[in-house]
């Protein structure tokens, strides 16, 4: 390994040991590791050809991979080897590893789930291929200036990406615009052609994805936009060199940047083009691979499963139809059976503002042929509905793929549902709500199509790699089988009553908290007490996730200390982290509020060690890897019925945090596993929330009726935390009162405060808390993404894993 690293330092990086920077050492080590990954990658792909296996294609606009070095070392069992080799070369492993820039090609939950599923496919034995976009700029870096979020672009490829293989030979044209012509060919067949379109090229970059144990290495293929040769020549021949290069730039903007907003990207033509860009390239690649060993199109669903990660790749349905019908002359009916047989769609959100629709006008301009195909699919679908439900014209309007109104729009979710053989939600409650709300008509029309696949997270990254202290402790007591069979953690249960084990467990948590406290002191200049309760809420900033509810608790706690300076109070460190979409004004205001409150609280000598509030800047995968193992309390407090699943809830519980949460998303199933006595659940149920919304309720009356709530809101609204601009939070607080409090913070407030009191009391009983924390770890087996993948494989992908 030493020689391998030195060789790469010299021949790949072009440096000598003398004068090599830590980054040079990182690159050299990464290449040495990549060699080992590559050796296992080729045989894996060869084996897939040889055995003609069914391939699973996971299409996602986002892959939030994070850093790769440590994960590869762990999956290949090379961690000690490389650490020792670097040591022998005079380098500190952790310092070198810290130079890796993470691949942040995603916003949050949806992108991170895609990365966890890739790891689990490679580990459990699925021939799984990711397809996505190689954004030049991934998720922005968040800086805090005067308490406000400031975004800066992250040029993550500046020093090269050692994990990727550019494939200049794998390049496909993708067309936009033009028009459609219909004609009859010499044999009298009706034909359709899409002509006069502009062309952009999609070039492949491959990233190997090693499974745990290193036997199998799958592939993640990301597309990058390149201008076409013809494009250049057209202008060049006209003598306009500068124009040619300008246009070249423009066509390459397609893969320039990730839209940094989950939930809404309204009317952004570039985003629409990005979606088609990666869909069209992926379909060409998938079909070319199929055609190497098959000639019968009917066999496609036996060999190809295409999973749509939300509706962002839903154009697959229309594109696959277009290619089969227009280019390969497959009869329409047959093409439709094939398309439905291949596709399945995962829904990740119920929020109406997040359901993608695109104006028909935009379709007509950018993808005219696809619009025709969508109309045709819709026509046939509605005919079937009309036949089964004669006279129900309202039903037709509700299920149509086109929403009528001032502006006609294509409903991408309906395209995805109708074009798929299975549709899934990501937690039991979420799937139930899909069936009873947004997709209730489809549930009646095709019972059994909508199924649940509860999310999971990979225990390799989120326990083994992120929390080496806890994983060593676990392995010492129950062996290493849990790494690939997480249910084995159950064997820890009896140890919850073993004082020696408990003592070790406490020591692990304390060490993780100390490391976290050091980081906060170093990077943020905030001193925190590692013996205080670490209360953590890390996730995107959203009204529905209710970071504001968390802040109300902090304010009440602070006010109580001020009102009674001698009050005994369980010391707390409240940590909040997350990015706001750049255009989401209220979310950015919430970040400023965290910082304003923390400024006051952390500098108030009256408070002493009893309370700290920390905003953790630039929350990303690497930060998460440090935070998850240090959390005591996991805040999962979304309005019931709004968080599809959540996955941070799983990561924290797996690392021994107790959850304070609502009856939402996967919290419900975590409760089923770990037991309600080991969590702090509170608040309205999804049914109650729905009833409140129908009946309407008086938020202002709620505020008047609760002194703590009224006081906290008044302190914030009157400028107590923002003396430099007393009305800064007026608009934010108004959303909770005169604004109607859509996310029901005032309705859940009292119940949340009561749950926080239970937390304090439970934490005061150190032994009782430790027991609960151990039982949380022991009972999280269900939430391995290996289980999730196995469930998808069985009857969505039709892949036999021999289990």
Interface with ligand 26W, residue 262, by CB under 6 A:
yes
Q: Which is nearer to ligand 26W, 109 or 661 (CB)?
A: 109
Q: 256 and 135 in contact (C-beta within 8 Å)?
A: yes
Helical packing angle, 745-764 and 547-563, nearest 10°: 60
Rounded alpha-carbon distances, angstroms, from residue 544 to 351, 378, 501, 648: 9, 33, 39, 16
Interface with ligand 26W, residue 429, by CB under 6 A:
no
Question: For ligand 26W, which residue of 100, 310, 504, 673 counts as binding (CB under 6 A)?
Answer: 310
Report the distance separating Cα 334 and Cα 787, nearest Å.
34
Q: How far is the CB of 348 from ligand 26W (least distance, A)?
A: 4
Interface with ligand 26W, residue 453, by CB under 6 A:
no
> Quick one: which of 28, 41, 8 has its CA closest to 100?
28
Question: For ligand 26W, which residue of 348, 610, 651, 702 counts as binding (CB under 6 A)?
Answer: 348
Q: How far is the CB of 661 from ligand 26W (least distance, A)?
A: 12
Cα three-residue angle 332-334-337, rounded to 5 degrees: 110
Interface with ligand 26W, residue 641, by CB under 6 A:
no
Report the distance separating Cα 265 and Cα 259, nearest Å.
8
| CB atoms inside a 10 Å sphere around CB 395 | 17
- Among candidate residues 449, 651, 779, 782, the one labeled active-site is 651
The stretch near ligand 26W (CB under 6 A) out of 12-20, 75-83, 105-113, 134-142 is: 105-113
Question: For ligand 26W, which residue of 6, 98, 323, 354 counts as binding (CB under 6 A)?
Answer: 354
Q: 422 and 449 in contact (C-beta within 8 Å)?
A: yes
Query: How many CA atoms lie less than 13 Å away from 793 in the CB half-sphere?
Result: 24
Q: Which is nearer to ligand 26W, 265 or 753 (CB)?
A: 265
Helical packing angle, 499-524 and 468-478, nearest 10°: 170
Interface with ligand 26W, residue 126, by CB under 6 A:
no
Rounded-to-5 percentages of helix, strand, coil across the chain: 55, 15, 30
Interface with ligand 26W, residue 356, by CB under 6 A:
yes
Q: Which is nearer to ligand 26W, 262 or 625 (CB)?
A: 262
Question: For ligand 26W, which residue of 581, 616, 644, 799 counts as binding (CB under 6 A)?
Answer: 644
Report the distance separating Cα 503 and Cα 350, nearest Å.
43
Q: How far is the CB of 306 from ligand 26W (least distance, A)?
A: 18
Interface with ligand 26W, residue 456, by CB under 6 A:
no
Q: How far is the CB of 386 from ligand 26W (least distance, A)?
A: 31
Beta strands in 678-799 (DSSP E): 680-681
Interface with ligand 26W, residue 647, by CB under 6 A:
yes
- Among candidate residues 370, 414, 540, 772, the one labeled active-site is 540
Site string for ligand 26W, 186-215 (x = CB under 6 A): ------------------------------
Interface with ligand 26W, residue 646, by CB under 6 A:
yes
Q: 511 and 470 in contact (C-beta within 8 Å)?
A: no
DSSP per residue over 25-84, as a string?
A: HHHHHHHHHHHHHHHHHHHHHHHHHHHTPPEEEEE-S-EEEE--HHHHHHHTT-HHHHHH
Q: 15 and 9 in contact (C-beta within 8 Å)?
A: yes
Q: How far is the CB of 319 from ligand 26W (least distance, A)?
A: 19
Q: How far is the CB of 349 from ligand 26W (least distance, A)?
A: 4
Rounded alpha-carbon distances, angstroms, from residue 150 to 22, 543, 580, 722: 28, 19, 10, 19
Report the distance separating Cα 206 and Cα 761, nearest Å.
52
Q: Which is nearer to ligand 26W, 355 or 418 (CB)?
A: 355
Q: Which is nearer to ligand 26W, 266 or 691 (CB)?
A: 266
User: What is the radius of gyration, based on Cα positions, of the chain?
Assistant: 27
Interface with ligand 26W, residue 44, by CB under 6 A:
no
Question: For ligand 26W, which residue of 10, 171, 263, 451 counts as binding (CB under 6 A)?
Answer: 263
Q: How far is the CB of 793 from ligand 26W (least distance, A)?
A: 18
Q: Which is nearer to ligand 26W, 306 or 470 (CB)?
A: 306
- Annotated active-site residue 539? The verdict is yes
Interface with ligand 26W, residue 455, by CB under 6 A:
yes
- Annotated active-site residue 651? The verdict is yes
Question: For ligand 26W, which residue of 643, 669, 748, 786 counts as binding (CB under 6 A)?
Answer: 643
- Among candidate residues 67, 545, 588, 779, the one labeled active-site is 545
Q: How far is CA 43 from the centre of its chain?
A: 30
Q: How far is the CB of 351 from ligand 26W (least distance, A)?
A: 8
Q: Which is nearer to ligand 26W, 115 or 377 (CB)?
A: 115
> Left (φ > 0), alpha (ψ -120 to 50) or beta: where does 267 sit?
left
Q: How far is the CB of 381 from ligand 26W (least distance, A)?
A: 24
Question: For ligand 26W, which residue of 89, 113, 308, 538 counts as binding (CB under 6 A)?
Answer: 113
The stretch near ligand 26W (CB under 6 A) out of 2-10, 160-168, 638-646, 793-801 is: 638-646
- Among candidate residues 8, 36, 216, 539, the one labeled active-site is 539
- Among candidate residues 36, 221, 348, 409, the one labeled active-site is 348
For residue 607, what is the DSSP state? T
DSSP per residue over 260-271, as a string?
A: --SS--TT-HHH
Q: How far is the CB of 309 from ligand 26W (least distance, A)?
A: 9
HEC secondary structure over 70-128: HHHHHHCCCHHHHHHHHHHCCCCHHHHHCCCCCEEECCCHHHHHHHHHHHHHHHHCCCE
Taking the CA atoms of 582, 163, 539 and 259 in sequence, report the sign of the dihedral they define. positive
* Catalytic residue list: 348, 539-540, 545, 647, 651
Question: Footprint of ligand 26W on this chain (CB under 6 A)?
Answer: 107-110, 113, 262-263, 265, 310, 348-349, 354, 356, 426, 455, 643-647, 665
């Amino acid at each position: 390994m030493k020689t391998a690293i030195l060789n790469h330092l010299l021949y790949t990086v072009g440096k000598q040991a003398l004068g090599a920077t830590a980054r040079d050492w990182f690159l050299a080590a990464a290449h040495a590791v990549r060699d080992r990954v590559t050796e296992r990658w080729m045989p894996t792909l060869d084996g897939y050809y040889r055995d003609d296996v069914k391939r699973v294609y996971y299409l996602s606009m986002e892959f939030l991979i994070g850093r790769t070095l440590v994960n590869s070392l762990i999956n290949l069992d090379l961690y000690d080897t490389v650490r020792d080799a670097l040591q022998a070369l005079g380098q500190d492993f952790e310092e070198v590893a810290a130079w890796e820039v993470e691949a942040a090609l995603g916003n949050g939950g949806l992108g991170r789930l895609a990365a966890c599923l890739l790891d689990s496919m490679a580990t459990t034995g699925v021939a799984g291929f990711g397809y996505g976009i190689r954004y030049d700029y991934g998720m922005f870096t968040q800086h805090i200036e005067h308490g406000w979020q400031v975004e800066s672009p992250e040029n993550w490829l500046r020093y090269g990406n050692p994990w990727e293989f550019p494939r200049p030979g794998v390049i496909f044209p993708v067309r936009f615009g033009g028009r459609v012509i219909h004609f009859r060919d010499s044999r009298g067949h009706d034909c359709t052609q899409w002509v006069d379109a502009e062309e952009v090229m999609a070039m492949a970059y491959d990233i190997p994805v090693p499974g745990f144990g290193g036997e199998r290495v799958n592939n993640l293929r990301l597309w990058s936009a390149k201008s076409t040769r013809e494009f250049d020549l057209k202008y060049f021949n006209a003598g306009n060199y500068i124009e040619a290069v300008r246009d070249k730039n423009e066509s390459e903007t397609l893969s320039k940047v990730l839209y940094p907003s989950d939930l809404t990207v309204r009317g952004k033509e570039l985003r629409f083009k990005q979606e088609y860009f990666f869909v069209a390239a992926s379909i060409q690649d998938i079909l070319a691979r199929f055609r190497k060993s098959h000639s019968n199109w009917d066999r496609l669903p036996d060999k190809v499963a295409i999973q749509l990660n939300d509706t962002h790749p839903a154009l697959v349905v229309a594109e696959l139809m277009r290619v089969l019908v227009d280019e390969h002359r497959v009869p329409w009916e047959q093409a439709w059976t094939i398309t439905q047989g291949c596709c399945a769609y995962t829904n990740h959100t119920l929020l109406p503002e997040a359901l993608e629709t695109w104006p028909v006008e935009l379709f007509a301009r950018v993808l005219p042929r696809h619009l025709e195909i969508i109309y045709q699919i819709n026509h046939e679908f509605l005919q079937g509905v009309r036949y089964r439900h004669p006279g129900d014209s309202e039903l037709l309007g509700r299920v149509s793929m086109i929403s009528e109104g001032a502006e006609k729009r294509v409903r991408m979710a309906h395209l995805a549902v109708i074009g798929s053989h299975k549709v899934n939600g990501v937690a039991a409650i979420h799937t139930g709500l899909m069936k009873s709300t947004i997709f209730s008509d489809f549930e009646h029309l095709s019972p059994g199509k909508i199924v649940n696949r509860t999310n999971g997270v990979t225990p390799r990254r989120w326990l083994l790699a992120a929390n080496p202290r806890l994983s060593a402790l676990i392995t010492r007591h129950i062996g290493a089988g849990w790494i690939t069979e997480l249910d084995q953690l159950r064997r820890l249960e009896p140890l919850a009553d073993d004082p020696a084990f408990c003592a070790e467990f406490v020591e692990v948590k304390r060490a993780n908290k100390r490391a976290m406290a050091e980081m906060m002191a170093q990077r943020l200049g905030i001193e925190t007490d590692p013996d205080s309760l670490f209360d953590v809420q890390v996730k995107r900033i959203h009204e529905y996730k209710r970071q504001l509810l968390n802040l109300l608790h902090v304010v009440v706690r602070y006010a109580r200390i001020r009102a009674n300076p001698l009050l005994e109070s369980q010391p707390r460190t409240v940590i909040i982290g997350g990015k706001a979409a750049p255009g989401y004004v209220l979310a950015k205001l919430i970040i400023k509020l965290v910082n304003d409150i923390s400024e006051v609280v952390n500098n108030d000598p009256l408070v002493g060690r009893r309370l700290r509030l920390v905003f953790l800047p630039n929350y990303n995968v690497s930060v998460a890897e440090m935070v998850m193992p240090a959390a005591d309390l996991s805040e999962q407090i979304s309005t019931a019925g709004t968080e599809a699943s959540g996955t941070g809830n799983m990561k924290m519980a797996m690392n021994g945090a107790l959850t304070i949460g609502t009856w939402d998303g996967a919290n419900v199933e975590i409760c089923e596993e770990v037991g309600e006595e080991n969590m702090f659940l509170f608040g309205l149920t999804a049914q109650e929330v729905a009833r409140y919304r129908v009946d309407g309720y008086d938020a202002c009356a709620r505020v008047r009726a609760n002194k703590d709530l009224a006081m906290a809101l008044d302190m914030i609204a009157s400028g107590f935390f923002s003396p430099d601009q007393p009305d800064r939070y007026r608009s934010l607080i108004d959303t909770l009162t005169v604004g109607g409090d859509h996310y029901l913070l005032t309705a859940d407030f009292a119940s949340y405060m009561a749950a926080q009191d239970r937390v304090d009391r439970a934490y005061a009983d150190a032994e009782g808390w430790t027991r609960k924390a151990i039982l949380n770890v022991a009972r999280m087996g269900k939430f391995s993404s290996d289980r999730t993948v196995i469930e998808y494989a069985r009857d969505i992908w039709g892949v036999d894993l021999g289990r």
